[in-house]
Structure 1
Amino acid sequence: MVKAARFTFIDLFAGIGGCRLGFERAGGECLYTSEWDAYARKTYEANFDLQDQHPFDGDITQVDAADIPDHDVLVAGFPCQPFSIAGVSKKNALGRPHGFNDPTQGTLFFDVARIIDKKRPRAFLLENVRNLMSHDKGRTFEVIRERLESELGYEFHSRVFDSREVVPQGRKRIVMVGFDKDTFPQGTRFDLNAVDLDGKYPRMGEVLHGAVTDGVELPYTDSRGNAAEKYVLSDRLWTYLQDYRAKHRGAGNGFGYGIVGPNDVSRTLSARYYKDGSEILVNRGAGLNPRRLTPRECARIMGFPDSFRIPVSDTRAYKQFGNSVVVPVIESVARAMAPWVAPASEALAVRP
C-alpha cells in the first residue's frame, strides 16, 4: 500500500462525512465543510472534531469562493438525484425537469466548478451515480468533462467502481479525479483504473446482527444481540410486497422486493429505504416475515465503522446512509491520489 502523504482538503456536499472519513484515513486534513441538511449536519458533527477555526457552511450557493480556505484537494459528492435512474424516472412521471434542468440540485455542479476555478486546488475528487455518464445521451457527462478539462485546465480521469469488492452491496458509482495542469505541466502518471480496492468480496453474514459477534446495541438489537423485533415487517406490509412482486412478474417486469441471507450480496441501498425496506430484506427463515436492515447494518454495508455514531431517528439514518458514499472506495482512491496532492517536498518522497 502507498504511504499516505499529508495534504489538505475541503468537503463539499458533505452529507454525513463518508468522503471525509476516506480522505482522513489516507492522510488528509479537512479544512472546510459544507452541507445544507440540518440532520446530516447533526450526524457529521457527532462524528468529527470540528475545531473553532473550521468553517462549516450550509448552502454552498450562498458562499463566496474567496472565503473558502486554500486547499490541496476539493472533494464533493454533489447531489445525484437529478441524474439517478430513480430520480429521472420519478421526475419524468411528474413532468418535472431533471439533470442540469433541475432548478435546484442539477445546477450545483457549477458551484463546484466555480470554487475550483477560484481556489485552483492541486486536484479534485467528485462522486456521483453511474447514470451520470448516460444521462441525456451522454451530454450531461460531456458538459462536466468539458468544463473541468478544457475550460478549467485539469487532467481528467473517471471510472465506475462496483462497491461489492469491499462491502456486501451491489453499488456502482462514478468517481471523477482531476489534477491541475498548471501544477503538473508534464502531466501525471496517475491511473484511476489501476486503483486496487483490495477487495475481499464480503457477504451479508459479515454485517448482520446475530451473524457477527457484535454484541448488544440498543435500540437496534435486543438483549441477545439479534436485530430488534421492530424491524420485522408486519403481516400487512409483507403481504403487500409479495402481491406487488407477483403482479409485476406476471406482467414480465422485474419490480419487487430483494431478499438476502448471510451468503448473499444486497441490492443498492437507496435513500428511500425508510419507506418499506423492500430493496433489501433479511430472510428470517421459512414461515417468518423478513425484516429491514437496522441503521447500524446500513452503516456497515456503506463501509462505516461501528464506532460511527448515529444520533438521528431510523428514518433519517436510512436516508443518510442511502445517500452516502462507500467509505473504502473513497479511501482507496484518496490513497492513490495522496502522493500527487501533498506539498511538493513531501509528495516527491512517496510519489510512484
Structure 2
Amino acid sequence: MQSKIAVVLAVSTALASSALAEPSQELIDAAKREGMLTTIALPHNWCNYGAVIQGFKDKYGLKVNELNPNAGSADELEAVKANRGNTGPQAPDVLDVGLSFGPAAKAQNLLQPYKVSTWDSIPDDAKDPEGYWYGDYYGVLGFAVNKDIFPEAPTSFEALKDSSYGSAVALQGDPRTGNSVMMAVYAAGVAEGGEPGEDAMNKGIRYFKTLQDNGNLVPVNGNAQNLAQGTTPIYFDWDYNLLAMRDELDGNPPVEVIVPSDAVIAGVYVQAISAYAPHPNAAKLWMEYLYSDEGQLKWLDGYCHPIRFNDMNERGIISKTMLDKLPPAQNYAKAVFPSLADQAAAKSAVAANWGTEMGQ
C-alpha cells in the first residue's frame, strides 16, 4: 500500500510539550527590525485569514503587505520567480499553496527551510523532512443533509445506497473536471475497500454507478440552493465549504454536515518561505504564529482544520463551543491524505472510466 498521511489522535507527552513552545526573543527582535511581512493569495474570507493576519499584526506590531489575495498556487510560484533579488514590496515572503506545489517549488529552489517550534506535532507525512514546506490546514470530504427532508441523517457511504435516499444524492459536477468531485468519488471507493490510487477510484465509480442504477443519484449538480429547495437534499463537498454553507442558511433549512464513518479522505494545503524573501525573519515569525495554538485556532474558526487539530484536541485546547460546530472529532482522527501519486493514478482512472461506466 502506498503511503498516506495518517493523522492520529493520540500524541506523546513530548509532542504535547513541544506544541507549547514560543518563538525566541531574538527572532521577534529581528523580525521587528525588518518591520514588514509580504503575503500573497490570502483572501480574508478564506480560512478566516482576515482574523489570522490581524492577530499577527496585533501580537507583533509588524505591517503586513498583502499581494493579490485571489491568486492561485501557480501564481504564487511565478511571483517568487519574477522577484528573485527584488527586495521591494512586490516580492512575497511566504506562500500558502496546494500540496503538489510544495515539492514542485522545492525542486525549483524557490523555498528556504525553516522548522517551527511546534514542528514535532505536525504529522511526519504532512511535511518535508528538511522543513522546506509543511501542511497548514486541511478539509475532508463530507456531505450535507437537508434535515427537513431527512431528520435522521445518514452517516456513511454505505447508508446512502438505501432506497430511502431515492433521488436525493448529488455530486457537485463532473469528477473529470473538478478536484473536489473527483475526491468524493475516490472517497466512496475507499469506503468500498479500494486500495490507494486507481483501485479506489474504479471502486468509487462503481459505487456511483450503483447509486445511479438504484435511482439514488440525482443528475443535477449539488449546491446550497438545490439543497435548500430539496432538489439535491444530500450533496458532497469539502467540509469547510459545507459548514460555511450551513451557517449561511442559518437553519432555513436545518443542515447537518456529515464526515462519513467509512472513509475520511482529506486534502491539505502547505506553507513555505520564499528562498528570496526580503523579510526572512518576519517570514519565520509568521510561521511561528500560524503553527502556534493561537494561529491554528483562528484557522479552525474559519472551518479549515489546522494540521495540529488532533494534538490540540488531545490537550483540551479547542473549546467545546467550537467542537460542537463540527462533526465528531473522532471522525477527523481517522483522516488519511492520498499521496500525489495516488491522486495522479485516480485522475487517470476517472478520465478513462467515468464516462464509459456512467454513460456520460
TM-score, normalized by the shorter chain, greater than 0.5: no
Task: Normalising by structure 2, report the TM-score.
Answer: 0.30
Task: Normalising by structure 1, report the TM-score.
Answer: 0.30
